[in-house]
Chain A
């Protein structure tokens, strides 16, 4: 397993990683979800040895990695831009590590050819070996990059937004294949992405990177069902985060007073954030009397095929999103600038009590 202990990395005043702990178990697929600029690429580069942490330790199967030059770490890296060797053919790209690595280079030409063939078959590139890497498509380049890394039999493979440069169709297919390939080889993948759907789809475990540390690491369904902090919930891009203060068992927030789920007992004056699922909101015409709940003005809607995402602006200016799964053929129609009441079942709320300031 790969273990990082209180790893920090600063760039001048700004800190990219701040006391980060992470464990990637053997034979598992971990996806790391982080917003752009959250330091996720820095983290991978530190594991691979392209950068060194300011403090903290990294170990792989008990052996220290930090301080060891990248070519002696046995860590595979798949780059977002593929980083194929432009002057070599597909075959030569894949064979590169076997031929020229410092330790145990394979000199036997027949063996190299055979292993290249095997790995090309594994990633689905049969018969393309002689092509120039300029003459293949984006998806094929991704496979070459993967094959090139896998043939060197690394102990762990780091994938830096590997699907970012592919179009949506291809991305889904590659997701399945990445899973299948990893399971066949039995090594660990650490897959970094900014897309919550990709992270949830790919990972046996999903780690959320925020503020330079891992905010939560859990299997995807656990993470989705019970995020442990407002930050994690925000990263999942499926919740409205509403902050306020508890008064008489209700949450007083800028968007209105909200009922809290049963079982949440918080003293008056307790600051609290709640996560309200996008798809837990039912939009009703405006009530006349001032009451509980959220009143908000309809802004716009995005039609997404099987679902529709609507944007409402609350009285204080904050944006509230509502997702309707379109099981009925006719999508709901809201009038622009019309105020609606956004109702929801309080039991759907996930509450995050915060420490008083």
Chain B
């Protein structure tokens, strides 16, 4: 009786939640196909891909200036890739270290995790002040990069910690007992087995860095990253070309996610086989 009421209620709630979650994105996607004379709101004057062409500079003589995102997009991607590599490598190494208890491992754990808890505005401001004091120029590839690593590293670390938590150490010991050195064991046994976790850590680091705002705002100097330059256009007057760009970056993110999902499925399917077939 209770579930007969509860289930539909929960279903409606879920529907509303999903609508709330994806509503803005859907509205943005629809508005990105606005005609040349339309503005960034309903109604759609005319369906067209005008603003997509505008985005790629294929419309000449438009009174709307081209969206200044080209370079900042490159910057953001490069920054995200740099952050992903460094954070994931550090995260895997740190989690590997935490597999054995060592003196001070408790406090160090909290110091690591603090990086994702401390408000971004605070860290950004602190970094800006520090670099001023030391006379270091702020730039997306230096000061911002450091903060991106500080921010994303704990995520990579925690993901890897969870992976190692379930990791059967005897498999590594088996490799050692066969005369294989610890480094080779990591390469041939440990790494292939933790690879799904490494993928997750990379995905976390990349997405968090790619759209990081507050830390970058204070530390990137004159050359802006993508979130900052989009915000910059927002403060003047907006045209549907921003929406067109938003759709493209979303498609890009989904592509990344799809690749991640595929790699993950392959890896998990392979690892799962070990749990099947105990019967003689």
Contact = CB atoms under 8 A, between A and B. Distances in A.
Interface string A73-98: 11111010101111100000000110
Contacts of A50: 173, 176
A97 B277 contact: no
Interface string B151-187: 0000000000000000010110111111111101100
Given A81-B170, A101-B180, A166 B280 contact: yes
B192 A101 contact: no
B60 interface: no
Nearest to A133: B274
B168 A81 contact: yes
A99 to B, nearest CB: 9
Interface in A141-177: 145, 148-149, 152, 154, 165-167, 169-170
B274 A101 contact: no
Contacts of B173: 48, 50, 70, 77, 79, 83
Contacts of B193: 86-87
A86 B274 contact: yes
A71 interface: yes
A86 B188 contact: no
B273 A102 contact: no
A102 B177 contact: no
Contact of A102 (B174, B181, B270, B274): B181
B15 to A, nearest CB: 40
Given A87-B271, A101-B180, A149-B177, A169 B280 contact: yes
A263 B275 CA distance: 59
Contact of A79 (B170, B192, B274): B170
20 contacts: A50-B176, A69-B176, A70-B173, A71-B178, A77-B177, A79-B173, A81-B170, A83-B168, A84-B171, A85-B171, A86-B273, A87-B270, A102-B180, A132-B273, A133-B273, A134-B274, A134-B276, A136-B277, A139-B280, A152-B178
Contacts of A303: none
Contacts of A79: 170, 173-174
Contact of A101 (B178, B272, B276): B178
A96 B188 contact: yes
B180 A100 contact: yes
A138 interface: yes
Interface in B239-275: 270-275
Contacts of A49: 176
Contacts of A247: none
Contacts of A83: 168, 170-171, 173-174
Nearest to A75: B177
A74 B178 CA distance: 8
Contacts of A81: 168, 170
B171 A71 contact: no
A136 B178 CA distance: 22
Nearest to B274: A86
Contact of B176 (A71, A87, A103, A133): A71
B77 interface: no
Contacts of B170: 79, 81, 83
Contacts of A138: 277-280
Contacts of B171: 83-86
Contact of B278 (A77, A103, A137, A152): A137
A115 interface: no
Given A83-B170, A87-B270, A100-B188, A134 B177 contact: no
A48 B181 CA distance: 14
Contacts of A149: 177-178
Contacts of A87: 192-193, 270-271
Given A48-B173, A81-B170, A83-B173, A167 B180 contact: no
Contacts of A73: 177
B277 A137 contact: yes
B203 to A, nearest CB: 21
A72 interface: yes
Nearest to A103: B179
Contact of B280 (A70, A74, A100, A137): A137
A135 interface: yes
B189 interface: yes
Which 5 residue pairs are nearest across A and B when measured between Cβ atoms? A134-B273, A97-B178, A101-B179, A86-B274, A77-B177
A166 B278 CA distance: 9
A74 B182 CA distance: 15
Contact of B277 (A48, A69, A102, A135): A135
A49 B173 CA distance: 9
Interface string A164-205: 011101100000000000000000000000000000000000
A354 to B, nearest CB: 41
Nearest to B187: A100
Given A81-B168, A87-B192, A167-B280, A71 B177 contact: yes
A71 B178 CA distance: 7
Residue of B185, B272, B278 contacting most chain A CB atoms (<10 Å): B278
A74 B270 contact: no
A148 B178 contact: yes
Interface string A100-119: 11110000000000000000
Given A76-B178, A85-B189, A148-B178, 19 more contacts: A70-B176, A71-B180, A77-B174, A83-B171, A86-B171, A86-B273, A86-B274, A96-B188, A97-B178, A97-B180, A100-B180, A102-B184, A133-B274, A134-B273, A134-B277, A137-B280, A166-B280, A167-B280, A170-B280
A312 B179 CA distance: 53
Contacts of A84: 171, 174, 274
Contacts of A71: 176-182, 185
Interface string B37-73: 0000000000000000000000000000000000000
A79 B275 CA distance: 16
